Amino acid sequence: MVKICCIGAGYVGGPTMAVIALKCPSIEVAVVDISVPRINAWNSDQLPIYEPGLEEVVKQCRGKNLFFSTDVEKHVREANIVFVSVNTPTKTQGLGAGKAADLTYWESAARMIADVSKSDKIVVEKSTVPVKTAEAIEKILMHNSRGINFQILSNPEFLAEGTAINDLFKPDRVLIGGRETPEGMKAIKALKDVYAHWVPEDRILCTNLWSAEVSKLAANAFLAQRISSVNAMSALCEATGADVSQVSHAIGFDSRIGPKFLNASVGFGGSCFQKDILNLVYICECNGLPEVANYWKQVIKVNDYQKTRFVNRVVSSMFNTVSGKKIAILGFAFKKDTGDTRETPAIDVCKGLMGDKARLSIYDPQVPQEHIQRDLQMNKFDWDHPIHLQPTSPSTINQVIVASDAYEATKDSHGVCILTEWDEFKNLDYQKIYNNMQKPAFVFDGRNILDVEKLRKIGFIVYSIGKPLDK
């Protein structure tokens, strides 16, 4: 019987394993984590992450062939296939600080696997890791193996938060990289057999280890680059009177370009794009490819520029100062349908406005108050100059209140910033909001989800990314 264990019960480990359990009733799946609160939440009615459709999947399998546990060693020992889906954040100190991936969690997971294993295992890289990580992991495992055979596979995850369950049910592709040896091929087949329960065979791609590792970094870099490209164009549109939505529509008709992922916005966020590009930059630099590194670095620089541009637009539109003015922030998560705030552009925008002494009233349907306050108090890590900046002062934090709905957030405000494209923000009663705001009332749509003409008719002064400006 195949037994799977996944180390790391986060945004990737939890949903991917829940779907494997659902689609493969004959396989026993254990998801383990060192975080007791996280595992307790997975075993409760209040799952630790918000993801549409996830609760239903978990409820169907939990206690049958899906288990969440903190007994990491037991489940690793019993499994034939061990996925490792631990976090791989950007290093903040030492060699490569600000760019390289921090593989501390991965290394400790690998050492633990070697320590506790009593039978042969396939170890699967699910986390996003630098190319050649499999070689490092092999060394750790082999040198501690006591005769046990470990086969390493790279099986990067391409799900997007907010649509994770759908992405896992119908993946564009599943990628499996392995050694081109008889044992490596056997391991690839074993993992392929798991996915073959529901993924069509032509969507399961098998490559060598390094191609799989590079493909994940490449995919995220290409996606982020597309966002920075359209955002760069949005700045030009604003300067010239062009409309970025019309431009996206026009260029998206070109079948070589395609229409997806061409929405201009306040910038990309999330735990992956910036981290993985920085990692790519570091790998290129280490491999003597500074020009390639600089090319990818620019994707992040444009993203930072877009957030700064947005803040500057808010302040300059409101007569060059927001000092003491109440500004409503609608949306704090890095995208809709998730409560995840890692690297959300809202953090930089809020901090920028707070720097100009604005008072912020923040509402997000899925982000708890304590996460918003935590994020705004965290030191900003400057990847370009990896030193920690001063913590936000307590008085600055007093400038922030967290509202329980959009109407409360916007009441008496001078301006409204839309920072996450939540559907509910499209359907608010903007006449009511306008009536309860200070005048002139401003809307800054950082996601281009609102009907600008309708808002202007109500009386708002509206700024949308990359669109002709109000006179």
Which of the residues are catalytic?
Answer: 272
Which CB atom, from 22 or from 32, has the smaller least distance to ligand NAD?
A: 32
Please state, in angstroms and rounded to a whole number, the distance separating the CA atoms of residues 86 and 216. 16
CA 467 to chain centre: 27
What does 352-378 look like in DSSP terms, one character per residue?
HHHHTT-EEEEE-SSS-HHHHHHHHHS
Which CB atom, from 38 or from 447, has the smaller least distance to ligand NAD?
A: 38
Which CB atom, from 159 or from 465, has the smaller least distance to ligand NAD?
A: 159
Annotate each residue in 246-275 with x if it binds ligand NAD (CB under 6 A) or - if it does not, as one string.
-------------------------xx---
Segment near ligand NAD (CB under 6 A), from 27-35, 142-150, 242-250, 433-441?
A: 27-35
CA 213 to chain centre: 18
**How many residues interact with ligand NAD (rule CB under 6 A)?**
27
Annotate each residue in 146-185 with x if it binds ligand NAD (CB under 6 A) or - if it does not, as one string.
-----------x-x-x------------------------
Closest by CA position to 40, among listed 48, 51, 29, 52: 48
Give the one residue of 7, 17, 199, 416 binding ligand NAD; rule: CB under 6 A: 7
Site for ligand NAD in 190-249 (CB under 6 A): none
Give the one residue of 65, 85, 117, 245 binding ligand NAD; rule: CB under 6 A: 85
Query: What's the half-sphere exposure (Cβ side, CA atoms, 13 Å) at 68?
Result: 27
Please state, in angstroms and rounded to a whole number, the distance separating the CA atoms of residues 311 and 349. 6
| Whole-Å CA distances, 303 to 279, 343, 353, 412, 420 | 16, 11, 17, 31, 16
Which CB atom, from 107 or from 183, has the smaller least distance to ligand NAD?
A: 107
Residue 39 engages ligand NAD in binding (rule: CB under 6 A): no
In the block, residue with structure tokens 């100009």: 356
- State which residue has the least CB distance to ligand NAD: 10
Residue 108 engages ligand NAD in binding (rule: CB under 6 A): yes
Give the one residue of 128, 274, 317, 420 binding ligand NAD; rule: CB under 6 A: 128
Which CB atom, from 50 or from 305, has the smaller least distance to ligand NAD?
A: 50
Q: Are 305 and 253 in contact (CB under 8 A)?
A: no
**Residue 210 corresponds to which tokens in the numbers above?**
């390094």
Please state, in angstroms and rounded to a whole number, the distance separating the CA atoms of residues 287 and 285. 5
Residue 72 engages ligand NAD in binding (rule: CB under 6 A): yes
Which CB atom, from 108 or from 144, has the smaller least distance to ligand NAD?
A: 108
Residue 130 engages ligand NAD in binding (rule: CB under 6 A): no
Segment near ligand NAD (CB under 6 A), from 6-14, 252-260, 357-365, 396-404?
A: 6-14
Minimum CB distance to ligand NAD, residue 116 (Å): 12
Closest by CA position to 117, among listed 81, 93, 89: 81
Residue 9 engages ligand NAD in binding (rule: CB under 6 A): yes
Which CB atom, from 157 or from 375, has the smaller least distance to ligand NAD?
A: 157
Residue 51 engages ligand NAD in binding (rule: CB under 6 A): no
Please state, in angstroms and rounded to a whole number, the distance separating the CA atoms of residues 334 and 350. 13
Segment near ligand NAD (CB under 6 A), from 3-11, 202-210, 221-229, 365-373?
A: 3-11
CA 426 to chain centre: 23
Backbone angles phi, psi at 149, to 5 degrees: -95, 125
Q: What is the dihedral of CA 262, 50, 4, 103, to 10 degrees?
A: 70
Beta strands in 252-358 (DSSP E): 326-330
Chain residues binding ligand NAD by CB under 6 A are 7-13, 32-35, 38, 72, 85-88, 105, 108-109, 127-128, 157, 159, 161, 271-272
